[in-house]
Chains A and B, each alone.
Chain A
C-alpha cells in the first residue's frame, strides 16, 4: 500500500540533496571544528558556510546565529536565557504556544517570575492590543509564536514588534513552523530572538538555531567548552548543521511556488470535505492560515479513532500536535479558541508538504467520509439513524 503522509507539521522527510550533503560529515570529514589540526580545520569552513546560509535567510549577521539541538532547546534558551540574565521580572506570552515555550514559562513562574498569557479569538489569532495592555514596567520578555503548529494560524508578530520596540522589551518568536515557508527576516518581523528547526523543512532532526539580536541580554543554558561564542557549549553537530544550511537554501528557492501549490491543495481539500460531510468545521480563518494545515473538527466522533482508521488506510495525520497525542486533555489551542471540549476531542490535523499531490488529497477525500460515517454510527452522541 502506498502510504500518504499528511503530518508535515510534526516532521518532514530528509531531502536526498540534504542527505548527500551531510554524508561526508558522517565519514571522512569527522574532525572537531574546534581542533587546530587539519582534521578540524577542514570541517570548520563548512560550519561557517551553513551559519552564513541561515543568517542570509534571516537577514541576520552570522554572529547572531547560535546552533542548538532543535526547536525545543531554542525556545527554552530564549525564554530561560533572558529570564536568567534578568534574574526577576514578568513575561508576556500567549495561550497557544508550543509546550517548549509554555512549559519553560510556567517553570519560571514556579521559580518566582510572573507571567501573563494573552488569549486568542475564535480564529486562533492574538490581538496586538492585548499584548500592549499586558506590558508592565518589569516585563523582561514577550514571546509570541509566528505560525501555530496545530491550526496554522499566522500571528501578527510584526505589529506586536512595534509595541515591544516602543516599550524597549525584547521580543521572541517561535518560527519553527514558518521558517523556510513564509518570509522570516528578523528585521522585517522586528524580533530580537527567533527559534527555528531543520526537521520541519526537510532537514535532519536534532538541529535548530536561536537567532539572537546583538545586544540582547541572555544567559546560556548549556555551558562547558565555550562553543558558539560561549552561548551554547558542546561539540557542534556538524552533519546536522550542514544539512540545515542546505535545507534552508533549498526551501527558499521553491518557497513561493510551494506556497501557491499548498494554497490550491488546501482549497481542493476543504471544498471536498465540506461537500462530502455534514457537521465538520475547518478551524481558523483561511486568510490568516498557513495553507499547509487543515485543522478539522468533526462532530460526534473522537479524534484518535479517526486517526487510527485513517492509519489503517495508510493515511498519516495527527490529533492536535504530535507531542500531545499521548495526553488526555483536549488541545489547549482549540480550547483557547473557545471550542467546546467534545468538539475539540473530535479534531484532526492534516498537514501537507512540498510532496503532497492532488491525487493524495483526492484519495483522502474518498476514504475519510466513510470512516466518519462508521464512527458516527458507533457514537452515543449521534441520534440513531441507520440502526
Chain B
C-alpha cells in the first residue's frame, strides 16, 4: 500500500536521467516556496531540440518522480514543445498525485521552463 500511484512509485524507484550534464546549454534551478524542496534541470540543446536532459532533486517522493517524468517527456522534443509541458500534464502522466502533493509537480515544470529560458538568454534565441 502506498499513498502514491504505481507510476509514481516506479519513477521513484527507477528515476530516469538523474545527474548533471557537463557544460550544459541551459540550467534551471527552482525552490518550492511551499515546502522548501529544490530541483535543478540541465539541458543539452542542438538545433532547438533537447538532445539530453538531466535532473537533481532535493525533495519528497513525488518531487523525484515528477522530475524523472518531466525529463522523459521532453527528451528529444523541440524547445517549443517542451515549453508547452505543464505541471498538470506531468501529474497526469504519473496517473495523478495526492491533493497535498500537487504542488510538487510545479517544481518539475518550473525547473524545466527555467532551464529553457536560461538557454534562450545565453544563446539569444
Interface residues of A (CB under 8 A from B): 300-305, 308, 311-312, 326-330, 341-342, 345, 377-381, 384, 387
Contacts and interface: CB of A to CB of B under 8 A. Distances in A.
Interface stretch (B32-40, B82-90, B115-123): B32-40
Contacts of B9: 308, 312
Interface in B1-45: 2, 4, 9, 12-13, 15, 18-20, 29, 34-40
Contacts, number: 61
B64 A305 contact: yes
A308 B36 contact: no
Contacts of A379: 56-58
B76 interface: no
A384 B20 contact: yes
Contact of A302 (B13, B40, B60): B60
B36 A311 contact: no
B36 A341 contact: yes
Given A300-B58, A305-B61, A380-B58, A387 B40 contact: no
Does more than half of chain A's interface fall in helix, strand or loop, or is it mixed?
A: loop
Nearest to A311: B2
B100 interface: yes
Question: Can you list the 4 inter-chain pairs with the closest CB atoms, starting with the nearest?
Answer: A380-B56, A304-B60, A328-B35, A380-B40
Contact of B20 (A301, A327, A387): A387
Contacts of B59: 302, 305
B91 to A, nearest CB: 17
A326 B100 contact: yes
A373 to B, nearest CB: 13
Contacts of B61: 304-305, 308
Contacts of A380: 29, 38-40, 56-58
Among B12, B29, B59, chain A packs the most CB atoms within 10 A around the CB of B59
A302 B37 contact: yes
Given A345-B36, A378-B57, 4 more contacts: A308-B4, A311-B2, A328-B34, A381-B38
Nearest to A377: B18
A311 B2 CA distance: 9
B35 A378 contact: no
A14 B18 CA distance: 43
Contacts of B60: 302-305
A312 B20 CA distance: 26
A312 to B, nearest CB: 7
A299 to B, nearest CB: 10
Contacts of A342: 36, 58
Given A326-B100, A377-B18, A387-B20, A301 B36 contact: no
Contacts of B37: 302, 345
Interface in B54-68: 56-61, 63-64
B12 A301 contact: no
A316 to B, nearest CB: 11
Given A302-B37, A302-B58, A328-B34, A378 B15 contact: yes
A308 B39 contact: no
B93 to A, nearest CB: 19
A380 B64 CA distance: 12
